[in-house]
Amino acid sequence: MRKLLSVLYVSTPESYLSLEGENIVISVEGTKKFQIPVHNIESVVCFGYLGASPALIGFCAKNGVGLSFVSPYGKFLGRVTGGVYGNVSLRKEQFRRSDDETKCLPIAISCITSKLNNSRVVLERCIRDHAENVDTKSLKEISAYLKINANRLQKCETLDEIRGMEGDNARAYFGVFNELILHQKKHFYMHGRIKRPPTDNLNAMLSFLYTILAHDVQSALETVGLDPYVGFLHRDRPGRPSLALDIMEEFRAFMVDRLVISLINRKQVTAKGFSRKESGEVLMDDDTRKEVLTAWQKRKQERITHPFLNEKIDLGLLPYVQALLLARYLRGDLDLYPPFLWK
């Protein structure tokens, strides 16, 4: 499989990015702080928006390096991409199927099957590893519920049915999510998944990492020539990367939830790293964000065996591999889209 390249997260808002030869140079107040060859970089995410030089923007676009700007708190602002990758017939096929509910169904079912399976594995792992310290009964109950629903899901005949099931399952899963938190429970506790804005530490971390994940998935889809805005389960909505959200369902539990749980349980993050604004929104401070991003990068370098390809890959390549498999399915190489199913 191709090589996993790093994503460069620029978390100091006063940073200015420029191009020197074929290096990305980061300066703060006119002083060079860091430089790295562009060829080692998959994409760049800037928190804060002092900016990047037009030369760097052009170079990134030409060399297929994604360049995104997000607010210091992780809200997506925009991205720079070069010429459209890949083949117009692949995208037209994607559009045609997206317009046809019967052709959307199998893909949507694959994505949500993966979501249910992978959420379930998160719960089961917790029961396996911490049976004495957790409410095993309610975890088992929800795990069984997810399993039954994964089977029921296969028979769904409309996208609305799938969306409804997805919502019910997410509520059930997040309903027992607090059970997974073994330490610092006082400070990391959620009353349901709250997104806009996140009003507790746990939701703040989840929302932040889901944004980062969405960025990776979007880049992966573009790399194989798919349009991240044209989805199969998520409805079209201007500015919403619906396909990225569809594919992301496969990775939320496996890549983000598990990381958030272990960061809290290992006390790599503490309540001190969070603050609450007047509006009730909870934000991470710079150090906590850096800690979370470092852990994210490290996690992406872990090796896993892809359950369908049976091939060892860096975990960070998962979005790329799934995008590739989706493209191959749309091109007629496969009978169904094989989602990522965590063992």
Partner 1 sequence: MSHFSDDDLLALSGIQHFAFCQRQWALIHVEKQWAENLRTVQGKQLHERVDNPDFFESRGDILTTRSVPLSSYVLGLYGVADMIEFHAVEQGGVKLNGRDGEWLPVPIEYKRGRPKRDNIDEVQVCAQALCLEEMLNIEIHHGFIFYGETRHRDKVIFHTELRNSVEELAKQMHSLFKQNITPRPNYTSACKSCSLVDMCIPKLDGKHSGVAKYINKFLSRELL
Taking CB under 8 A as the binding criterion, the range among 72-80, 149-157, 256-264, 267-275 that sits at the site for partner 1 is 149-157
Taking CB under 8 A as the binding criterion, the range among 71-79, 97-105, 117-125, 296-304 that sits at the site for partner 1 is 117-125
Does 319 engage in binding with partner 1 (CB under 8 A)? no
Does 138 engage in binding with partner 1 (CB under 8 A)? no
Between 34 and 85, name the residue whose CB sits nearer to partner 1: 85
Taking CB under 8 A as the binding criterion, the range among 14-22, 145-153, 235-243, 282-290 that sits at the site for partner 1 is 145-153
Among 101, 124, 281, 291, binds partner 1 (CB under 8 A): 124
Between 110 and 218, name the residue whose CB sits nearer to partner 1: 110
Alpha carbons 234 and 221: distance in angstroms, whole number: 15
What residues have CB less than 8 Å from 41, skipping those under 6 apart? Answer: 5, 6, 7, 8, 24, 65
Burial of 187 per CB tally in 10 Å (0-12, 13-18, 19+): middle
Positions 154 through 173 that interact with partner 1 (CB under 8 A): 154
Does 318 engage in binding with partner 1 (CB under 8 A)? no
Per-residue DSSP letters for 133-190? Answer: TS-HHHHHHHHHHHHHHHHHHTT--SHHHHHHHHHHHHHHHHHSGGGG--SSTTTS--
In whole angstroms, how far apart are CA 50 and each of 15, 28, 32? 6, 10, 15
Among 150, 213, 295, 315, binds partner 1 (CB under 8 A): 150
Task: Extract long-range pairs of 84-92: CB within 8 Å, 24+ residues apart.
Answer: 84/225, 85/222, 85/223, 85/224, 85/225, 86/224, 86/225, 86/226, 86/327, 87/225, 90/225, 90/226, 90/327, 90/330, 90/331, 91/225, 91/226, 91/227, 91/230
Positions 276 through 315 that interact with partner 1 (CB under 8 A): 307-309
Among 30, 31, 128, 186, binds partner 1 (CB under 8 A): 128
What residues have CB less than 8 Å from 155, skipping those under 6 apart? Answer: none
Among 34, 49, 76, 85, binds partner 1 (CB under 8 A): 85
Peptide bond before residue 72 is cis, with ω within 30 degrees of 0: no
Taking CB under 8 A as the binding criterion, the range among 6-14, 113-121, 190-198, 207-215 that sits at the site for partner 1 is 113-121
Between 90 and 202, name the residue whose CB sits nearer to partner 1: 90
Between 25 and 304, name the residue whose CB sits nearer to partner 1: 304
Between 85 and 145, name the residue whose CB sits nearer to partner 1: 85
- Which residue ranges make up the site for partner 1 (CB under 8 A)? 1-2, 85-87, 89-90, 110, 113, 117, 120-121, 124, 127-128, 140, 143, 147, 150-151, 154, 224-225, 307-309, 324-325, 328-329, 331-339, 341
